């Protein structure tokens, strides 16, 4: 992670999020649709409490469409509302706005009964690093001003951004910590690029990714790289991809790291396909 989380930092984060939560009517919990479980904060239910929550399955453009529906049903069965969003092509944002009004209707009616009318509906965003919080804020506010990139932790003084209709969004998202003690979660975060590559060994990561992709379907690698998977090991597969892509160093050997970087990069960009790495029945 770009942030080194330690108990004191986590406690502070939680307190500041709770403070901001008291200012809003609804919270948008952003998660990565390719890894809905792995990209969720472990303490999320406790942090959000009774506040209306909308789960934003972001990067849904990169995730498998059937799996998107499966996850939406899973959340629905847990009594949670979710919405599929793709911030790159601005999909699902109208659903976010519509659901925001329906999920806050009770409160708005209660205020209306007290004579408080047209008070803006206020929302804030929370989520672990790299799920697309900044991009989501930008897309929703249709501005290019807010900072987007892989540098979480930069905070400014809070401001309210006016969104379509009577909706206001807190411009600073709450950045939460991921689940630390689950190896598979760590791997999923690394595959999707949420964890910095320098912290992991690229070769091992790519071998594990190829293995995972093949466990989903041999066709993923076969279609993209036009090779046969068969009984080949991930190592052999990466070598073959490297050869095909002309990743050759002096002496005619395959530049293994270069091949690994191509595969990782193409996976992360969705070029290998729309792939969801975990389904509800695979999590504990």
Ligand X SMILES: Nc1nc2c(ncn2[C@@H]2O[C@H](COP(=O)(O)OP(=O)(O)O)[C@@H](O)[C@H]2O)c(=O)[nH]1
**Interacting residues with Mg ion (CB under 5 A):** 133-134, 152
Residue placing its CB nearer to Mg ion in the complex, 29 or 278: 29
Backbone angles phi, psi at 122, to 5 degrees: -115, 140
190 contact choice in ligand X, Mg ion, none (CB below 5 to 8 Å, kind-dependent): none
Is residue 29 within 8 A of residue 48, CB to CB? The reply is yes
- For the beta carbon of residue 103, count every other beta carbon within 10 angstroms: 17
**What does the alpha-carbon distance between residue 191 and residue 270 come to, in Å, rounded to a whole number?**
12
257 binds ligand X (CB under 6 A): no
62 binds ligand X (CB under 6 A): yes
Taking contact as CB under 6 A, which single stretch among the options 17-25, 73-81, 82-90, 230-238 is the one that binds ligand X? Answer: 82-90
Residue placing its CB nearer to Mg ion in the complex, 175 or 263: 175
Contact pick of 135, 172, 188, 206 for ligand X (by CB under 6 A): 135
**Which residue minimizes CB distance to ligand X?**
132
212 CB-side CA count, 13 A: 20
Residue placing its CB nearer to Mg ion in the complex, 19 or 147: 147
133 CB-side CA count, 13 A: 28
230 contact choice in Mg ion, ligand X, none (CB below 5 to 8 Å, kind-dependent): none
The SS3 of residue 160 is strand
Q: Write down the least CB distance from residue 213 to Mg ion, Å.
A: 28
**What does the alpha-carbon distance between residue 171 and residue 168 come to, in Å, rounded to a whole number?**
9
Backbone angles phi, psi at 114, to 5 degrees: -90, 5
Q: Write down the least CB distance from residue 241 to ligand X, Å.
A: 23
Contact pick of 26, 35, 131, 237 for ligand X (by CB under 6 A): 131
Is residue 112 within 8 A of residue 119, CB to CB? The reply is no
Q: Shortest CA distance to 275 belongs to which of 88, 66, 71?
A: 66
Q: Write down the least CB distance from residue 32 to ligand X, Å.
A: 8
Residue placing its CB nearer to Mg ion in the complex, 13 or 104: 13
Using CB under 6 A as the binding criterion, the count of chain residues that bind ligand X stands at 19
Contact pick of 34, 53, 59, 179 for ligand X (by CB under 6 A): 59
Residue placing its CB nearer to ligand X in the complex, 72 or 130: 130
CA distances from 79 to 53, 71, 87, 153, 263 (A): 10, 12, 25, 31, 38
Interface ranges with ligand X (CB under 6 A): 58-59, 61-62, 86-88, 127, 129-135, 148-150, 152
């Amino acid at each position: 992670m770009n942030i080194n989380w330690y108990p004191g930092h986590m406690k502070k984060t939680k307190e500041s999020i709770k403070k901001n939560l008291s200012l809003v009517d609804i919270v948008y919990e952003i998660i990565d649709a390719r890894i809905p479980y792995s990209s969720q904060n472990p303490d999320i239910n406790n942090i959000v409490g009774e506040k209306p929550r909308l789960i934003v399955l972001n990067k849904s453009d990169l995730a498998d469409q059937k799996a998107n529906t499966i996850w939406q049903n899973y959340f629905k069965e847990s009594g949670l509302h979710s919405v599929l969003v793709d911030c790159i092509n601005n999909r699902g944002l109208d659903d976010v706005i519509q659901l925001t009004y329906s999920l806050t209707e009770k409160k708005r009616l209660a205020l209306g009964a007290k004579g408080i009318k047209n008070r803006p509906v206020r929302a804030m965003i929370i989520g672990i690093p790299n799920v697309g919080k900044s991009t989501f804020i930008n897309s929703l506010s249709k501005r290019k001003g807010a900072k987007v990139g892989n540098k979480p932790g930069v905070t400014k003084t809070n401001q309210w951004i006016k969104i379509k209709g009577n909706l206001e969004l807190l411009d600073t998202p709450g950045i939460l910590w991921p689940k630390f003690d689950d190896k598979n979660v760590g791997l999923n975060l690394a595959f999707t690029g949420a964890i910095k590559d320098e912290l992991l060994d690229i070769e091992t990561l790519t071998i594990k990714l190829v293995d995972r992709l093949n466990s989903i379907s041999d066709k993923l690698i076969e279609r993209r790289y036009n090779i046969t998977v068969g009984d080949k090991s991930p190592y052999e597969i990466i070598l073959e991809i490297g050869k095909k892509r002309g990743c050759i160093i002096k002496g005619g050997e395959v530049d293994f790291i270069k091949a690994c970087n191509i595969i990782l990069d193409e996976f992360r960009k969705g070029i290998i396909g729309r792939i969801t790495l975990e389904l509800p029945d695979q999590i504990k």
